[in-house]
Amino acid sequence: MISQRAKNLSPSETLKISAKAKELIRQGKSVISLSAGEPDFKTPGHICAAAIKAIEDGFHGYTMNTGTPELRQAIVDKLKRDNGLEYSPADIVVSNGAKQSIGFTFLATIDPGDEVIIPSPYWVSYPEMVKLAGGTPVVLKTSIKNNYKLQPEDLDALMTNNTKALVLCSPSNPTGAMYTPDELKEIAKVLRNYPDVLIISDEIYEYIVFEGEHTGILQAAPDLQDRTVLINGFSKGFAMTGWRLGYLAGPAEIASAVAKIQSQETSAPSSISQKAGEAAYNGPLDDVLTMRKAFKERRDYVVNALLEIPGLNCFMPSGAFYVFPDCSAYLGKKTKDGSVIHTSTDLCIYLLEQHGVAAVPGDAFGEPAGFRISYAVSMDQLKEAIKRLKKGFNELEDE
Ligand SMILES: Cc1ncc(COP(=O)(O)O)c(C=O)c1O
């Protein structure tokens, strides 16, 4: 009954651990979930008001397939204002979340046999989406020594005649690492030697940055614009995960191929959400900055507290709302009841079942030595979670 395509797909590990946490909560256990990939804030009021008005005005029909002209213009204006980039509305396709923009970009550009280079630790969906599109994910392993950022020579070494695209995600899910302009310039030097390779630059965490302003590959190397697909959306910066609104900005040829796929798959994103998105981009950023400030306080607290756990290794991430500690010092240790922690998945299951903290194992992100903590929870919850984590790690013993 089931296609080979579906069988080859791995289910989302992040959703799996959240489901397990929910199940334990349902059984009455106290669980703090540090596994969510979404802000714990409310969508700003003026954005909600625009959506309510859209409903009241009867703005309920299908919109243009690529998004309303008004929203695409707001995106063009934002890309100019915040990122110094020139696009026209024809280069923009608005989708049901950035996830769909990325998935459709792969579908529009990848043929069987094409390779897509994905630095690990990676966002869980990239390799699966590449596989769904018939391509081959090629994982570029990075090291915590370099804050899990790809090194240009490693990128060069993985390029083959079949390389179709490179995925860049900055600030990163799951590590929070952010490339500096100089690092991006070095990556661009390598890319210039491979003029047919596409760049997919996922900048969904653009507004959640703590050191300086966000820089994308196109600010560092504007000459790459004709082969870069810029991915962004409203979920993270504006706390709008459930509104399902994201977009791509890219070469018109790719935008129209994605539009064709979208026209057959989903028609267009929600009309109401698009009005909300327009208000987000045309309105004030005060709430975004308030959320950023809260995330920064939590980041400082959580990273400093994690560094007090002997053997855990992590760096201060520059963006997003994740920390990705290296827990290799704990692999091979034993729990009080004698079971051995072989992998980061074993570790996360132990922390969840025995200490009531849900984090996501690095196995899910292609980096088995680490695990991801999301600090998109209140400071009180974070403090309690840290107390539990300290106890949990402290109780692990050498075999
Ligand atoms: C790196 C990255 N890209 C894209 C997305 C998709 O965001 P959305 O589909 O909610 O716009 C996420 C969400 O978790 C993400 O972490």
How confident is the model over 353-387, as pLDDT tens digits?
999 999 999 988 999 999 999 999 999 999 999 99
- Taking residues 237-247, report their average pLDDT: 97
The finding on whether 396 has its CB within 6 A of some atom of ligand 1 is no
The pLDDT > 90 percentage for the chain reads 91
Report the predicted TM-score, pTM, of the whole model to 2 decimal places.
0.96
The finding on whether 237 has its CB within 6 A of some atom of ligand 1 is no
pLDDT digits (tens, 9 = 90+) for 296-329: 999 999 999 999 999 999 999 999 999 999 999 9
The finding on whether 123 has its CB within 6 A of some atom of ligand 1 is yes
pLDDT at residue 41 is higher than 80: yes
pLDDT at residue 92 is higher than 90: yes
Distance 178 CA to ligand 1 centre (A): 16
Distance 2 CA to ligand 1 centre (A): 27
Q: Is the dihedral of CA 75, 220, 102, 192 positive or negative?
A: positive
- Taking residues 66-91, report their average pLDDT: 98
4-42+287-392: CATH architecture: Alpha-Beta Complex (3.90)
Bridge partners (DSSP) of residue 141 are: 120
Q: Taking a C-beta distance cutoff of 8 angstroms, is the pair 224, 253 a contact?
A: no
Minimal-distance CA residue to ligand 1 atom 14? 37
Q: How far is CA 158 from CA 116, 169, 194, in A?
A: 10, 18, 12
pLDDT at residue 272 is higher than 80: yes
User: Which residue, among 230, 224, 231, 234, has the nearest Cα to 194 in the 3D structure?
Assistant: 224
Omega of the bond prior to 137 within 30 degrees of 0, cis?
no
pLDDT at 14: 64
pLDDT at residue 18 is higher than 80: no
Q: How far is CA 207 from the centre of its chain?
A: 13
Per-domain boundaries in the chain: 4-42+287-392, 59-282
59-282: CATH architecture: 3-Layer(aba) Sandwich (3.40)
Distance 231 CA to ligand 1 centre (A): 9
- Taking residues 41-69, report their average pLDDT: 98
The finding on whether 101 has its CB within 6 A of some atom of ligand 1 is no
